[in-house]
Chains A and B, each alone.
Chain A
Amino acid sequence: MMRFLLLFSRQGRLRLQKWFTPMMDREKKKIIRDMTTMVLSRQPRTCNFMQWKDLKIIYKRYASLYFCLAIESQENELLALEVIHRYVELLDKYFGNVCELDIIFNFEKAYFILDEFLMGGEIQETSKQIVNRSIDASDMLQEDDSSEWYEVQLFG
């Protein structure tokens, strides 16, 4: 089972946080601090896998973003790397040549995509097409909603 997924920039600014188990805010903050310091201090060509408390931390750097995934000790690290890569592919498909700014300005969309791919710490859907289809369908629903909103605003 996966415990959490964090995305942060090279300067340590958090861009996305997904917790698969409920935790107190204090704990979350501490974990974020620990992760950012640990990952950012790694040399460029060191291993992508680390041990932290009872979890394994898998991180990968894509351009200016670090993707950091924590898994339980019996899980497979290479699989975790694949999960991270699959998520990046999904983001790329959705945003078209995704970059950090896309995630900064549309962070809720990034969450929605993640929610279609992973759930409860497990992989939800392994097919890229199906994930993309669900996201597109949800987006269509949103568009219908927003056109109505505009009318409500004008006429009270």
Chain B
Amino acid sequence: MALKIVKGSIDRMFDKNLQDLVRGIRNHKEDEAKYISTCIDEIKQELKQDNIAVKANAVCKLTYLQMLGYDVSWAAFNIVEVMSSSKFTYKRIGYLAASQCFHESTDVIMLTTNQIRKDLSSPNQYDTGVALTGLSCFVTPDLARDLANDIMTLMSHTKPYIRKKAVLIMYKVFLKYPESLRPAFPRLKEKLEDPDPGVQSAAVNVICELARRNPKNYLSLAPLFFKLMTSSTNNWVLIKIIKLFGALTPLEPRLGKKLIEPLTNLIHRALDLLYGMVSKKNLMEIVKKLMLHVDKAEGTTYRDELLTKIIDICSQSNYQYITNFEWYISILVELTRLEGTRHGHLIASQMLDVAIRVKAIRIFAVAQMATLLDNAHLLTGNMQRNGICEVLYAAAWICGEFSEHLENPMQTLEAMLRPKVATLPGHIQAVYVQNAAKLFSTVLKSQEGSTEGTAAQETSQLMIDRLPLFVQSANLEVQERASCILQLVKYIQKLQQKEVEVAEEVSALFAGELNPVAPKAQKKVPVPEGLDLDAWINEPPSESESEDEQPKAIFAKEEPKHSRSRHTEVDEKELARRREARKQEQANNPFYIKASPSSQKVYQESPGVEHIPVVQIDLTVPLKVPGLPMSDQYLKLEEERRQKERADKKKKEKKKRKEKRSGRGRRHDSGPESEEDITPAHMVDIVTEEMPEEYHLNIEPQKSLIFERSQK
């Protein structure tokens, strides 16, 4: 007898465990089927043994074989035996095997009911856990019916680990046995406010899933979910709740209204994320997506937000992420076609900024601006301040300043002097007039050189004909500029009639390049000696006088109070007015570079907001102004360019890779392109900002004023 046991033990030592089995299969690649059938025979022998450890080992191997595609349903009873072991290790293996191969028509499933019930009430939480997890895979209607009560009690278990699993499995139980929902529902609702976050999210999950199938019954829970949404920081939960609201909102319109606020917050958080996400590679794609949204969000503040965002992310860090400025300008021009936006001045300032600082792009920019001016009648609809007509301001200035790049300056000049221009806001007209003068000088220069002597005189006549309209403008600035220039042109005409070459002198009027001034330049200007900014210029008014002047009147006591309160009131009003005036001035000044936006508050990640459907939309034909390219072309061009670069690089890399062949542990993909790989479409030479002469940039590196892009 003893010998038999010893022999048995020795046999057991030669049993293959899982590792041996796997290794064996890998070593027998040619005759795998034969090897495996031998193994299965061995397993059948092992299953006949009494020893539960041996059985568990066998079942483990069977699970592996099942994964390879072999049928193991004949061992179902043995699996149940292993499940009933008291040792956690074997129980685990048993439940694993069961979850892999049990299904509704497995006959031994009924035998498991009691075993599972026992495990569910086990003192060891991991026993219960493993039973719950396994059950979730093979629960049948019968099992559900029998075990529903036990699981419900478990929802109030002391350990959150168990509560969480119990809550989750209730969903499966409800699916198989719907009658269990009614008694369990109150408990489920309680779990929504469970102190443990895991249990809470499990409850949210279950209720969300249930509510999606039958939204009406769960409408009463909406306030509770609303509270959860605003207070939760767990993103997975947030996503689920938002999805739930997506299902509930069609039934309850008031809910929709109430949701707008938190959802817009979420969208803002997502948009803010864009700041960090932007890189050279994805900027164009991101902006394209945002433009789609902008087109969809007609006439809302959301659209303006998007617009601001687009411009912000593009102009970050001195346009660090833009590889193709032509694309950016075309984006800006597309944005101008939007109606009803309040950010015309923002677009205008961007255009100016780009045109001034990026020399290489000036030709393109000027061409675009000329087209804009020609088609200005499409844009003059919006009369509000900061409306889109602000863009014309930028267009006129750019055409004037860089008029040497214009293809047809005469045409642009005529466009600027059209009578309709007089309907534009005053400050824009002023710019038009000034720049018309600049253009005039360029036109003269080109015309005087040619043999057509009369062309120059015709130009002067044109100016003389059109300017009087502006001289009569109600706006002081326009009036002043127009009359100055009109006189100048009349004088020039007289000289022309005397056949004097005037062009050189006229262009001398506008010679010299205007460069952007750094925002901190003023501070760096050294204060000249002998100047004391704090000293009074005149003598301060003496205190005694003001006191004497108090009028002796009936209301003597009240008056001081009045004057005092009025005084403070006036101060505040005055301050506000001054602030406004300063802002206006800054906005209108093309040489004022605005400081970079204040650092954004750090928001948590908010991955994707579901209710914004990403859908292919048929864009209703956007205002197609002839001559203006669509920014999509650039996107495609950029893609092709990068493809080509990548293809060239791959050829080089393939040679390198053949030498290095690494084995395990390499997890990454073909390797993302690094930022440095992307060469910009033009070599960008951004104009340096002006600083006071004695001041060298090298002394104090200032991050926000990086100019010169390193050439790669």
Q: Could you tell me if A134 and B71 are in contact, using CB atoms closer than 8 angstroms?
A: no
Check: B375 CB closer than 8 A to any chain A CB: no
Chain A residues positioned under 8 Å from B60 (CB to CB): 108
A79 at the interface (CB under 8 A from B): yes
- CA–CA, A119 and B610, complex, Å: 23
Whether B92 pairs with A153 at a CB distance below 8 angstroms is no
Q: Which of B167-175, B214-222, B339-347, B485-493 contacts A (4 or more CB under 8 A)?
A: B167-175
Q: Contact at A63–B667, with CB atoms within 8 Å?
A: yes
Whether A122 contacts B168 by the Cβ 8 Å rule is yes
A78 touches B88 (CB 8 A): no
Asked if A123 lies at the interface with its beta carbon under 8 angstroms from chain B, I say: yes
Known: A19-B137, A126-B234. A112 touches B171 (CB 8 A): no
B520 in the interface (beta carbon within 8 A): no
Complex: A101 Cα to B19 Cα, angstroms: 11
Q: A44-B670, A130-B198 are in contact. Are A1 and B209 (CB under 8 A)?
A: yes
Contact across chains for B126 and A137 when beta carbons are under 8 A apart: yes
What residues of chain A lie closer than 8 Å to B212, measured between beta carbons? 74
Interface residues of chain B: helix, strand, loop or mixed (majority): helix
A29 within 8 A of B: yes
The A-contacting residues of B in range 679-705, CB under 8 angstroms, are: none
Chain B residues, Cβ within 8 Å of A125: 164, 198
Contacts of A78 in B (CB 8 A): 607-608
Point out the residue from A29, A82, A127, A142 that lies within 8 Å of B89, measured CB to CB. A142
Check B138 for interface membership: any CB of A closer than 8 A. yes
The CA of A20 and the CA of B51, in the complex, are separated in Å by 32
Contacts of A47 in B (CB 8 A): none
Which B residues are in CB contact (< 8 Å) with A22? 102-104, 137-140
How many chain B residues sit at the interface, stated as a range, is: 35 or more
Cβ-defined contact, A122 with B209, below 8 A: yes
Pair B201/A126 contact, Cβ less than 8 Å: yes
Q: Contacts A99-B665, A153-B12: A115 and B161 contacting too (C-beta < 8 A)?
A: no
Instruction: Please name the residue on chain B nearest to A131 by beta carbon.
Output: B198
Interface of chain A residues 27 through 81 with chain B (CB within 8 A): 29, 32, 44, 61-63, 74, 76, 78-79
Knowing A29-B69, A63-B666, A145-B88 are in contact, say whether A20-B137 is a contact too (CB < 8 A).
yes
**C-beta contact mask, A85-114 vs B, less than 8 Å → 1, else 0?**
000000000000101110011011001100
Closest to A153 in B: B9
Assess the A120–B168 pair: CB atoms within 8 A: yes
Contact pick for A153, options B53, B168, B664, CB 8 Å? B53
Chain A, interface residues (CB within 8 Å), range? 35 or more
A76 touches B610 (CB 8 A): yes
Closest to A150 in B: B53
A146 vs chain B, min Cβ distance (A): 6
Q: Which of B93-101, B393-401, B432-440, B474-482 interfaces with chain A?
A: B93-101
Residues of chain B within 8 A (CB-CB) of A74 are 212, 243
CB <8 Å contact, B205 and A107: no
Please report which residues of chain B, range 208-261, place their CB below 8 angstroms from some CB of chain A when the two chains form the complex.
Answer: 209, 212, 234, 236-237, 239, 243
Q: Are A124 and B168 in contact (CB under 8 A)?
A: yes
Complex: A41 Cα to B41 Cα, angstroms: 37
- CB of B243 to closest CB in A, whole Å: 7
How many angstroms from the CA of A74 to the CA of B60 in the assembled complex? 36
Q: Which A residues are in CB contact (< 8 Å) with B169?
A: 119-120
For B171, what are the chain A residues with a Cβ–Cβ distance below 8 Å? 120, 122
Name the contact of B92 in the complex, choosing from A79, A134, A142, A152 (C-beta under 8 A): A142
Q: B618 an interface residue at 8 Å Cβ cutoff?
A: no
B607 and A82 form a contact (CB under 8 A): yes
- The distance in angstroms between the C-alpha atoms of A150 and B202, with both chains bound, is 40
Nearest A residue to B64 via CB reads A107
Collect the chain B residues with CB atoms within 8 Å of residue A100's CB: 664
A101 touches B92 (CB 8 A): no
Report if B5 contacts A (CB, 8 A): yes
Q: Given contacts A24-B103, A138-B92, is CB(A119)–CB(B133) below 8 Å?
A: yes
User: Min CB distance, A62 to chain B, in Å?
Assistant: 6
User: CB distance B209 to A123 under 8 Å?
Assistant: no
Choose among B63, B71, B137 the residue that contacts A108 (Cβ–Cβ < 8 A): B63
Complex alpha-carbon distance, A61 and B669, angstroms: 8
Is B22 interfacial (CB-CB < 8 Å)?
yes
Tell me the smallest distance from the CB of A105 to a CB of chain B, in Å: 6
Q: Please tell me if the beta carbons of B53 and A76 are within 8 angstroms of each other in the complex.
A: no
Q: Would A108 and B18 count as touching, CB distance under 8 A?
A: yes
Q: Mark A132-149, 1 if CB is under 8 A from B, else 0.
A: 001001100110011011
Q: Are A126 and B236 in contact (CB under 8 A)?
A: yes
Hey, which chain A residues are within 8 Å of B101, CB to CB? 25
Judge whether A14 is part of the interface by a CB distance below 8 angstroms: yes
Q: Which residue of B lies closest to A20 (CB)?
A: B137
Known: A14-B68, A22-B137, A25-B101. 5 other contacts (CB 8 A): A24-B103, A74-B212, A108-B96, A119-B165, A124-B198
| A-B contacts, 28 listed (Cβ < 8 Å) | A13-B68, A14-B67, A14-B68, A17-B100, A25-B73, A63-B664, A63-B666, A76-B239, A78-B608, A97-B665, A99-B664, A108-B92, A115-B130, A119-B132, A119-B133, A119-B165, A120-B136, A120-B171, A123-B201, A124-B202, A134-B129, A141-B88, A142-B89, A148-B87, A149-B53, A149-B87, A149-B89, A153-B53
Among all A-B residue pairs, the 8 with the closest Cβ atoms: A99-B664, A22-B103, A120-B136, A145-B89, A115-B133, A145-B87, A142-B89, A141-B88
Q: What is the interface of chain A, defined by CB distance below 8 A to chain B?
A: 1, 13-17, 19-20, 22-25, 29, 32, 44, 61-63, 74, 76, 78-79, 82, 97, 99-101, 104-105, 107-108, 111-112, 115, 119-120, 122-127, 130, 134, 137-138, 141-142, 145-146, 148-149, 152-154, 156
